[in-house]
Amino acid sequence: MNAENLKGYEIYALGDSAITIEFGKYINPETNDLVISRFKQFQETPIKGVLDLIPSYHSLTICYDLNVVAKQKSGLHSLIDQVKLYLEEPIKLHANSSQLHEIPVVYGGKNGSDLLRVSQEKGIDLNEIIRLHAEPTYRVYMLGFIPGFAYLGELNSKLTMPRKSAPQPMIPGSIGIAGLQTGIYPSFSPGGWNIIGHTDYPLLTNGIPILQAGDRVKFIPLNQL
């Protein structure tokens, strides 16, 4: 990976009540390790007025109480200065528990209705798509979008697809691809990813997500086409 990513970061506003620290431009395990480490650092030593932290692939978002921040001498700039001080501290790489989840998948058919279109658009044979999708052991980069939705990477670049132009209703267990990402919808929701398969693997217990950021996922194909 690019060594600059280890030191370099960029901070931008996410509206008037949150800022995002971006640690890199690409999806890779090294950048994501940085995100998780900084996330833990801000969790362990909270800054006054911070309400929530949202780690993602390559960024960490800090949501703050606008009442508290607006009272600071120079408003948001005071908070950003404080954040920068935190980022100067050495990185403690937190050992990930990194559990491996083997997730059985039925590809194509009624619950994988975009597989055919992906095959046509990419000019790749159906079974080759299954092979390429099930080949890697994916990393859970982050949870987001809806409770327990795990963003998995990195998808083989041969399978890169844009999101759909408008979100569609998804059923629990739908396995989708978009860009260099793949993921599983844990509950009914609208979604814009291309659905290529389905799993019955339980993703939530009593509403609590099974997958954690840093875990690994291996898809086990149950069928050939």
Partner 1 sequence: MSLIIHKVGILDTIQHFGVKGLQSKGIRPGGVMDQFSASIANALVGNKLNEDLLEIHFPACEIIFKKSCIIALVGAHFSAKLNEKYLPLNRPILIPTNGKLQFVAPKYGRIVYLAIQGGLIGQGRLIKNSEIAFKKKPKLNSSSLHIFPWSADVDWQKYSPEIHVIQGREWERLNEESQRQFCCKPFKLSHHADRMGYRLQHDTFHTRTKEEIISSAVNFGTIQLLPNGQTIVLMADHQTTGGYPRIAHVISADLPKLAQKSPGDEVVFHLTDQETAEKEWVAQQKHIRQIQNISQLKLDEFFQKNSNQL
Q: Is 1 in the site for partner 1 (CB under 8 A)?
A: no
Q: Is 11 in the site for partner 1 (CB under 8 A)?
A: no
First and final C-alpha spacing in the chain: 37
Q: Any idea what the Cα angle at residue 104 is, between residues 103 and 109, rounded to 5°?
A: 130
Q: Is 146 in the site for partner 1 (CB under 8 A)?
A: yes
Query: Nearer to partner 1 by C-beta: 5 or 127?
Result: 5
Q: Is 103 in the site for partner 1 (CB under 8 A)?
A: no
- Residue type present at position 156: N
Span from 8-16, 89-97, 126-134, 215-223 in contact with partner 1 (CB under 8 A):
8-16
Q: Is 14 in the site for partner 1 (CB under 8 A)?
A: yes
Least spacing, CB of residue 153 vs partner 1, in Å: 9
Least spacing, CB of residue 104 vs partner 1, in Å: 23
Name the phi and psi angles at 46, rounded to 5. -65, 145
C-alpha separations of 23 from 17, 35, 41, 42, 189 in Å: 20, 7, 15, 15, 30
Whether the CB-CB separation of 112 and 197 falls below 8 Å is answered with yes
Element (H, E) at 176: strand 174-178
Helix (H/G/I), strand (E/B), else coil: 111: helix
Query: Nearer to partner 1 by C-beta: 108 or 173?
Result: 173
Whether the CB-CB separation of 53 and 60 falls below 8 Å is answered with yes
Q: Is 192 in the site for partner 1 (CB under 8 A)?
A: yes
Least spacing, CB of residue 225 vs partner 1, in Å: 27
- The C-alpha atoms of residue 55 and residue 159 are separated, in whole angstroms, by 26
Of positions 2, 7, 75, 117, contacts partner 1 by CB under 8 A: 75
Tell how far CA 196 is from the center of its chain: 19
User: Given the rule CB under 8 A, which residues bind partner 1?
Assistant: 12-18, 20, 22, 26-27, 39, 51-59, 61, 63, 66-67, 69-70, 75-76, 142-149, 151, 162-167, 178-179, 181, 192, 208-209, 213
